[in-house]
């Protein structure tokens, strides 16, 4: 086992979905995968391996924020040699024409996290999704008749912030679509180890209009996002 994942080598597939919420991992395993085994319960951060359309695939909760997802992504890559990592998360929209329940493919991530500044000194690294995975996810969405949004997202270190609206308006003016809390870390760590990564996000609330989904909906009803991620993972 690794420090935070109680799995043996070989228990985790080379493709993995990464929801922030461990109960979303359980939901995905129970509703989309076959022949499922639970390989991790450490810290309640459930991890499962099963099959989807005959292909072996895992799903692992990551917790919220850059430090938490960084722990899981580092261990999944370094200890379990995972190759393809797809975050399936929620986000808050900041563009007027992005609606609650829309699905976003995060092409890139802007962030207030210090993670990359610590790694690169004064240089602003540009965390970017893997193009092949992004294209596979986009094509999957088109096949399903979904109108996916593709663009830059803001990975925030704060869920609650003073003067948030001012910042979000500025980011929206620069075409950033939505706010979440993990993509920048996923993209940077995947780049370091030359692995494929993508964040697929469902809009759970609209920061400008105040419209939102319930906690139960966040946990269970994001099936479009999950199917796009699963089908892209096995393409």
Ligand X SMILES: O=c1cc[nH]c(=O)[nH]1
**Residues forming the active site:** 205
All residues at 6 or more sequence positions from 83 whose CB lies less than 8 Å from its CB, including other chains: 14, 15, 195, 196
Q: What is the CA radius of gyration of the chain?
A: 17
Rule CB under 6 A: choose which of 11, 21, 75, 136 binds ligand R1P: 21
Q: Which residue is nearest to ligand X (CB)?
A: 92
Q: What residues between 144 and 163 interact with ligand R1P by CB under 6 A?
A: 159
Q: Token pair of 113, please? A: 């996290």
Q: What residues between 170 and 199 interact with ligand R1P by CB under 6 A?
A: 180-182
Dist CA 30 CA 147 (whole Å)? 27
**Least distance CB 193 / ligand R1P (angstroms):** 22
* Number of residues binding to ligand X, judged by CB under 6 A: 10
Helix, strand, coil shares of the chain as percentages rounded to 5? 35, 30, 35
Per-residue interface string for the shown chain with ligand X, residues 190-229, x marking contact by CB under 6 A: --------------xx-x----------------------
Alpha helices in 94-130 (DSSP H): 115-120
Rule CB under 6 A: choose which of 86, 137, 176, 179 binds ligand X: 179
Q: Which burial class, exposed, middle or buried, applies to 157 when counting CB atoms under 10 A from its CB (0-12, 13-18, 19+)?
A: middle
| Residue ranges in contact with ligand X by CB under 6 A | 90-92, 159, 179-181, 204-205, 207
Binding site for ligand R1P (CB under 6 A): 19-21, 64, 89-90, 159, 180-182
């Amino acid at each position: 086992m690794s420090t935070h994942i109680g799995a043996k080598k070989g228990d985790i597939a080379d493709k993995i979905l990464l929801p922030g919420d461990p109960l979303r991992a359980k939901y995905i395993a129970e509703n989309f995968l076959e022949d499922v085994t639970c390989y991790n319960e450490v810290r309640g951060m459930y991890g499962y391996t099963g099959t989807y359309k005959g292909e072996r695939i895992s799903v692992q909760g990551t917790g919220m924020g850059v430090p938490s997802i960084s722990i899981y992504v580092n261990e999944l890559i370094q200890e379990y040699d995972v190759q393809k990592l797809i975050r399936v998360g929620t986000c808050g929209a900041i563009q007027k024409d992005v609606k609650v329940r829309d699905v976003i493919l995060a092409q890139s991530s802007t962030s207030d996290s210090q993670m990359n500044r610590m790694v690169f000194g004064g240089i602003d690294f540009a965390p970017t999704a893997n193009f092949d995975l992004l294209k596979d996810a986009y094509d999957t969405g088109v096949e399903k008749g979904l109108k996916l949004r593709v663009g830059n997202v803001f990975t925030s270190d704060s869920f609650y912030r003073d003067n948030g609206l001012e910042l979000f308006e500025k980011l929206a003016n620069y075409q950033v679509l939505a706010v979440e809390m993990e993509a920048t870390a996923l993209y940077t760590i995947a780049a370091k180890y030359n692995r494929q990564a993508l964040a697929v996000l469902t809009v759970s609330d609209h920061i400008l209009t105040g419209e939102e989904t319930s906690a139960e909906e966040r946990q269970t009803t994001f099936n479009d996002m999950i199917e796009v991620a699963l089908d892209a993972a096995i393409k």
